[in-house]
């Protein structure tokens, strides 16, 4: 007897019941009209007109779930419905009479179905669940989305339940652990991962790790709702979330591949989650590769490090005011970036002055200028717009020269030779 392998045929409750000779086609058509007009699930309509009992409806729903999971074929499911309802026996007994006993793994998988998980955790009442199942089938929407739209469930609780499903599927937690943790999530307003961690059931990802779907939402490529729907569809169809995004046309395959690369880099400690999301956002919005963005970031990091080396000099010279420094510090904390990054991004100091500060800093390091003298020269650069070597050339000797045993002399062009002349010549060559 074929149990699995054939996936064609009726999938909806009404079609299964007609195929099993439990109700007539004309009864189904009338019940569908009533269901549509009254916004009542089909199963409830059939119960109200005496065509089904509640046990009959539960049996049909259970068979439908097993067919969708691929545990049994449509043909076998139809036979089981007929034997159970016509014979007025429990579905498990009908399976036994047909020579099949659901294995333990199937029972556990069935227990991990989203609707059953929500009902068992006390998050959704069964009558509300049935209404949402009907809406899901009629409108081709994921069950979870219907529950959220009906305000029977919050998006946060739905995401926790979907995460629990993934962990059950991957064998990381049991159905019972998922139920207990979901109850805590609802009661204590905490995350599922934290609840599982508190009970010792599961150790969540490290703080710097990031989930694939979260990476796409943080990068602004998909919405939170689309992410949750993709997770639910992936669980129902046994697909990875990236495959769901590609098939739905929401995310190109190239973006999925690059997102996976970034996720691996975060998990390996090469990037933080925030950095990965920003790289992905820029690559997607500008239509370039993540390698191009990371190359730009590397160059940018060199600029940031240069600003850091002259930050004290910029403040001492007054080129960077105290108010600007405080503003850069505040923005840096908010955006989780360095003060130098904010100075560059907000252009608080021009690149020309930063270059002049770097030149002056090198002269200080070589002992050719004092820090105070360099700050004075940089201040003049900011005020006049001149290059550093021009400012140093025009400074009076007493303002710039370090104590020297030899008095300065004029060169052939009338310029001061010695210390100032050496500095001017060095900067001109650079």
pLDDT at residue 3 is higher than 90: no
Q: Cα separation of 53 and 69, whole Å? A: 25
Q: Which of 224, 177, 185 is nearest to 203 (CA)?
A: 177
Residue owning tokens 């700050």: 375
pLDDT for position 142: 86
pLDDT at residue 203 is higher than 90: no
Q: Which of 362, 384, 385, 364 is nearest to 373 (CA)?
A: 364
Instruction: Check if the beta carbon of residue 388 is closer than 8 Å to that of residue 356.
Output: yes
pLDDT at residue 21 is higher than 70: yes
Domain boundaries, the chain: 13-111, 208-222+238-288, 301-429
pLDDT for position 176: 87
Q: Cα separation of 39 and 395, whole Å? A: 87
Beta bridge partners of 410: 416
More confident position, 413 or 352:
352
Read off the tokens for 252.
């190109």
Read off the tokens for 210.
């990031």
More confident position, 189 or 285:
285
Nearest-10 crossing angle of helices 419-429, 351-365? 130
More confident position, 382 or 415:
382
pLDDT for position 252: 92
Lowest pLDDT segment from 162-166, 332-336, 348-352 = 332-336
pLDDT for position 204: 55
**DSSP 8-class letter at 416:** B
Q: Cα separation of 146 and 354, whole Å? A: 57
Query: Strands (DSSP E) along 134-222, which ranges?
Result: none
For the stretch 162-192, pLDDT in tens is 988 888 877 888 888 888 889 988 888 888 8
pLDDT at residue 426 is higher than 70: no
pLDDT for position 274: 83
DSSP reduced 3-state for 207: coil
The residue-averaged pLDDT of 53-73 equals: 83
Mean pLDDT of the chain: 82
Q: Cα separation of 364 and 30, whole Å? A: 92
The residue-averaged pLDDT of 340-356 equals: 89
Instruction: Check if the beta carbon of residue 167 is closer than 8 Å to that of residue 202.
Output: yes
pLDDT classification of 38: cutoffs 50, 70, 90: confident
pLDDT classification of 427: cutoffs 50, 70, 90: low
pLDDT at residue 110 is higher than 80: no
Could you give the maximum distance between any two Cα atoms of the chain, in Å?
119
Nearest-10 crossing angle of helices 224-237, 241-248? 110
The residue-averaged pLDDT of 413-426 equals: 48
Residue owning tokens 């007929």: 82
């Amino acid at each position: 007897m074929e149990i699995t392998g054939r996936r064609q045929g009726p999938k909806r409750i009404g079609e299964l019941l007609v195929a099993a000779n439990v109700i007539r086609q004309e009864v189904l058509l009338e019940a569908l009209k009533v269901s549509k007009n009254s916004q009542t699930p089909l199963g409830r309509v059939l119960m109200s007109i005496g065509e089904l009992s509640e046990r009959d409806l539960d049996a049909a729903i259970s068979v439908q779930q097993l067919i969708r999971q691929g545990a049994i074929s449509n043909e076998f499911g139809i036979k089981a419905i007929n034997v159970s309802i016509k014979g007025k026996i429990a579905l498990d007994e009908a399976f036994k009479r047909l020579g099949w006993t659901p294995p333990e793994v199937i029972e556990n998988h069935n227990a991990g179905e989203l609707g059953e998980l929500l009902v068992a955790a006390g998050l959704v009442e069964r009558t509300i669940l049935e209404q949402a199942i009907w809406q899901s089938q009629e409108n081709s929407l994921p069950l979870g989305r219907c529950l959220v739209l009906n305000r029977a469930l919050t998006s946060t609780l739905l995401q926790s339940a979907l995460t629990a499903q993934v962990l059950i599927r991957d064998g990381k937690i049991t159905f019972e652990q998922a139920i207990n943790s979901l109850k805590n999530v609802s009661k204590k307003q905490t995350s599922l991962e934290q609840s599982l961690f508190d009970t010792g059931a599961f150790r969540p990802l490290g703080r710097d790790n990031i989930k694939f779907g979260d990476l796409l939402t943080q990068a602004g490529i998909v919405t939170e709702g689309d992410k949750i729907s993709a997770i639910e569809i992936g669980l129902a169809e046994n697909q990875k979330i990236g495959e769901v995004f590609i098939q739905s046309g929401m995310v190109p395959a190239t973006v999925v591949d690059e997102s996976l690369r970034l996720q691996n880099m975060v998990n390996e400690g090469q990037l933080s989650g925030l950095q990965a999301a920003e790289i992905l956002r820029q690559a997607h919005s500008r239509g370039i590769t993540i390698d191009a963005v990371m190359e730009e970031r590397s160059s940018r990091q060199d600029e940031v490090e240069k600003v850091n080396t002259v930050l004290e000099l910029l403040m001492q010279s007054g080129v960077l005011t105290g108010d600007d420094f405080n503003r850069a510090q505040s923005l840096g904390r908010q955006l989780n970036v360095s003060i130098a990054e904010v100075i560059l991004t907000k252009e608080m100091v021009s690149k020309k002055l930063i270059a002049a500060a770097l030149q002056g800093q090198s002269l200080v390091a070589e002992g050719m200028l004092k820090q105070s003298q360099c700050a004075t020269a940089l201040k003049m650069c900011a005020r006049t717009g001149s290059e550093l070597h021009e400012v140093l050339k025009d400074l009076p000797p007493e303002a710039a020269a370090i104590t020297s045993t030899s008095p300065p002399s004029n060169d052939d062009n009338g310029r001061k030779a010695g210390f100032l002349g050496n500095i001017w010549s060095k900067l001109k060559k650079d």
